[in-house]
């Protein structure tokens, strides 16, 4: 294994400048969900250069590349995933490679995810004689929006050959550089979204007794629904209900007809998802009944919770310990209530998701989704080596 590590380190140095150039090119031309044509073209130019077989235009802009090992034992298949999309954020970093597209920015590290995975691909392409089985490389659109993982799965990327395990990495501002967080079990929350309309009877603000005030109904719902978190969930469970917007009325002295609320629900188990969804339905119904109004609820399931398989998390820890040292691989971190559509992959196959630290100082951490989000190119080496080693660890285990 030490010989393999040396080869991976040497290949990282060989390709590092090209991978940095790729990251900068992607960063300068950010694209939102399902728009990632230029990003896909940049990736496919490299795949063509090295004669890597691939399919593109999966779920509109997704790419699936594949490298087959030359050994004959343990014909397994592992999938490594990176996301490609940017965010509708105006960049304010003053970097020499800052976004050239007004109002769009890679403010979450997906430029690094794609470039780092390409680096791992180039490394493994030179190590085909060192492993058996196949490695699939999934370049996914639309993680930030409606989600590209599920339609890529539905397009058959986990078959022919059948994928046995899945791994993915996320550059993580809540972790220090040269550390990785890899936990077993619950890692990231599932998320649902809902739109709720309370329907009352409008009228003059001086005569509230002749109206049914939807703003009061909305206020009562907002207050009451938090009891679903504090009094319905077990104290040791995690859940979040957020009302992110409320729209009602047009002027100061008129009670409106309608009040519209939008929010999200976050949970770490399907059991708690069902409980919280039912609580929202029942609370809205009770509030409308109390005030004599009506309600309409549009509740949509989004991403399931991201659950790391215990054995795959252990494998990922072994791989990243070789890159960073065992003391820099953190296994007792707490789950985050952020959501990730990599959850669809771990729902379909055993796998693990890894947070790769990028902050130089946790007192002033790198802030995701901010206009000043930036991180050092050197972190690409961790992604390149970590992804490559996870694939080799899985394929070469008995």
- List of residues 6+ apart from 278 with CB closer than 8 A: none
Q: Which residues are known catalytic residues?
A: 85, 143
Alpha carbons within 13 A on the beta-carbon side of 133 = 22
Is 270 annotated in a binding site? The answer is no
Give me the phi and psi of 160, to 5 degrees please: 55, 70
Give me the phi and psi of 276, to 5 degrees please: -70, -40
- Whole-angstrom Cα distance, residue 308 to residue 289? 43
Beta carbons within 10 angstroms of residue 76's beta carbon: 20
Q: For residue 141, give the nearest of 224, 245, 20, 60 by alpha carbon.
A: 60
List the alpha helices (DSSP H) in the chain.
2-28, 37-49, 110-125, 149-154, 214-227, 270-291, 310-324, 343-348, 379-396
DSSP state, residue 362: T
- Whole-angstrom Cα distance, residue 113 to residue 98? 17
Q: For residue 295, give the nearest of 221, 240, 229, 208 by alpha carbon.
A: 221
Pairing mode, strands 294-303 and 190-199: antiparallel
- Whole-angstrom Cα distance, residue 110 to residue 181? 18
Could you tell me the CA-to-CA distances from 242 to 45, 173, 338 in Å, in that order? 43, 23, 12
Reported as type and span, the H/E element at residue 166 is strand 165-176
Alpha carbons within 13 A on the beta-carbon side of 66 = 19
- Whole-angstrom Cα distance, residue 325 to residue 312? 18
Is 29 annotated in a binding site? The answer is no
Is 369 annotated in a binding site? The answer is yes
Cα 276 from chain centroid? Answer: 22
Is 144 annotated in a binding site? The answer is yes
Binding site for Mn(2+): which residues? 108, 110, 144, 170, 369
Binding site: which residues? 108, 110, 144, 170, 369
């Amino acid at each position: 294994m030490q010989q393999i590590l040396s080869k991976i380190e040497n290949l990282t140095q060989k390709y590092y400048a090209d991978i940095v150039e790729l990251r900068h090119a992607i960063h300068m031309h950010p694209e939102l969900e399902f728009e990632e044509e230029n990003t896909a073209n940049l990736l496919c130019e490299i795949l063509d250069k090295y004669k890597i077989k691939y399919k593109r235009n999966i779920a509109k802009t997704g790419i699936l590349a594949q490298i087959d090992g030359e050994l004959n034992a343990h014909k397994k298949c592992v999938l490594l995933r990176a996301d490609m999309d940017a965010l509708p954020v105006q960049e304010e970093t003053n970097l020499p490679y800052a976004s050239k597209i007004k109002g769009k920015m890679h403010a979450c590290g997906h430029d690094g995810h794609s470039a780092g995975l390409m680096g791992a691909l180039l490394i493994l392409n030179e190590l085909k004689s060192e492993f058996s089985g196949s490695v699939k490389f999934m370049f996914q659109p639309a993680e930030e929006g409606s989600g590209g993982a599920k339609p890529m799965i539905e397009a058959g990327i986990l078959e022919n050959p059948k994928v046995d395990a899945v791994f993915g990495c996320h550059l993580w501002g809540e972790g220090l550089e040269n550390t990785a967080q890899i936990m077993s079990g619950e890692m990231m929350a599932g998320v649902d979204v809902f739109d709720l309309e309370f329907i009352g009877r409008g009228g003059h603000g001086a005569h509230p007794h002749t109206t049914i005030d939807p703003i009061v109904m909305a206020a009562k719902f907002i207050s009451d629904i938090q009891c679903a978190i504090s009094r319905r969930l077990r104290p040791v469970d995690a859940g979040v209900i957020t009302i992110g917007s409320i729209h009602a009325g047009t002027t100061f002295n008129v009670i409106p007809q309608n009040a519209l609320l939008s929010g999200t629900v976050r949970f770490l188990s399907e059991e708690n998802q069902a409980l919280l969804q039912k609580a929202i339905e029942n609370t809205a119904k009770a509030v409308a009944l109390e005030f004599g109004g009506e309600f309409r609820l549009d509740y949509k399931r989004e991403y399931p919770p991201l659950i790391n398989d215990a054995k795959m998390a252990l494998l990922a820890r072994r791989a990243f310990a070789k890159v960073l040292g065992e003391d820099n691989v953190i296994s007792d971190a707490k789950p985050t209530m952020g959501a990730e559509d990599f959850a669809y992959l771990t729902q379909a196959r055993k796998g693990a998701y890894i947070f790769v630290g990028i902050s130089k100082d946790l007192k002033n951490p790198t802030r995701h989704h901010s206009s000043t989000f930036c991180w050092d190119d050197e972190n690409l080496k961790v992604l390149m080596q970590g992804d490559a080693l996870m694939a080799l660890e899985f394929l070469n285990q008995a």
